[in-house]
Amino acid sequence: MAKSTTGKWVSRVGAAGGGRSYRRSRPVNYYGVIGVVVILGLASVVLARYDYQHPHHHHSAPAVAPKIGTTWYAALGVDNCGARVADLPTGTSTGGLSLLASNVIKVTPLSSADAGHNATLAQFSRENAGVTATATQLDLTTAHGHLRLTTGQRCAAGTPDAGRTGRVVYAYWPTLSTTAPTLTTKPGDIKFAQYLRVTLAFVPQGVTPLAPTKATVNAMVQDNVTPTTTTTTAPVTTTTAGPTTTVPGSSSTTTTTAGPTTTVPGSTTTTSKG
């Protein structure tokens, strides 16, 4: 009878899904797990959204070259209706994009203003007095005076393209091996690179600007091989002592201001005649 009663109790428990203690714990555990999953899911969505909107708060992207402290060299040319313009004045830069002799541009970023994506021809124009380069105008101080060229005006007499309507355009060759230049009217689109060649040009539509001269390119390469440095030499101080008179047998040495050294053997005194 006991066996039968036990069997019926087990059957009822199985049909009910467990004892009373199990039935009480099952809803708590089940909904607890569901709650944790929901919370984690929401947290991951919020974190992903934050990372997307604020990438610099969690990740530092590698700095774009040229970095502060970098030293590059580029070659500059100026084409006025087919005529090359004389070298521009040097030593006028207020930043890290400066003009050296032979129209060589030295790229040494000093701050974020002229480093990375900001190291452009437009920034070079802003930092150098005597060089204004915009989408429609070139305003240059040259070795022969002031030159202002504006898109729409005619090429001056004496130039190869005299009388033709010109436009301001910029040509650049990213590497030494580049043969065909890229043309643009936006100086801000031209980012400096090591050995970049770039020409500020005022030429008729359809005319390819002249590349920087071979002399400028050679100077650019040479500056990279032997960078320009400033050497400071400390002054040399020379002290000249007067001749000495030494008398053997004596413990004293007399220093005179002129005359040869006189040694009198076997004596303790030196007698001057006359």
Distance CA 231, CA 161 (A): 46
Beta carbons within 8 Å of 180's beta carbon, 6+ residues apart:
none
pTM, whole model, 2 decimals?
0.62
SS3 167: strand
Could you list the pLDDT tens digit for every one of the 274 residues in the chain? 455 554 554 455 445 444 445 455 556 666 777 777 778 877 777 777 766 665 554 444 468 999 999 999 999 999 999 999 988 989 889 999 999 999 999 999 999 999 999 999 999 999 999 999 999 999 999 888 899 999 999 999 999 999 999 999 999 999 999 999 999 999 999 999 999 999 999 999 999 999 999 999 999 999 988 865 444 344 444 444 444 444 444 444 444 444 444 444 444 444 444 4
Give me the pLDDT at residue 265, please: 45
Distance CA 24, CA 15 (A): 16
Give me the pLDDT at residue 192, please: 98
SS3 158: coil
202: buried, middle or exposed (CB in 10 Å: 19+, 13-18, 0-12)? buried
Beta carbons within 8 Å of 261's beta carbon, 6+ residues apart:
243, 244, 245, 246
Q: Which has the closest alpha carbon to 169: 209, 196, 197, 131?
A: 209
DSSP strand pairing (166-173 vs 137-142): unpaired
Pair 130, 82: CB distance under 8 Å: no
* Distances, alpha carbon 254 to alpha carbons 213, 246, 257, 260, in Å: 71, 7, 10, 13
- As beta bridge partners, residue 97 has 107
The three-state (H, E, C) secondary structure of 116-132, written as one string: HHHCEHHHHHHHECCEE
Give me the pLDDT at residue 89, please: 87
SS3 267: coil
DSSP strand pairing (253-255 vs 244-246): antiparallel
Pair 232, 245: CB distance under 8 Å: no
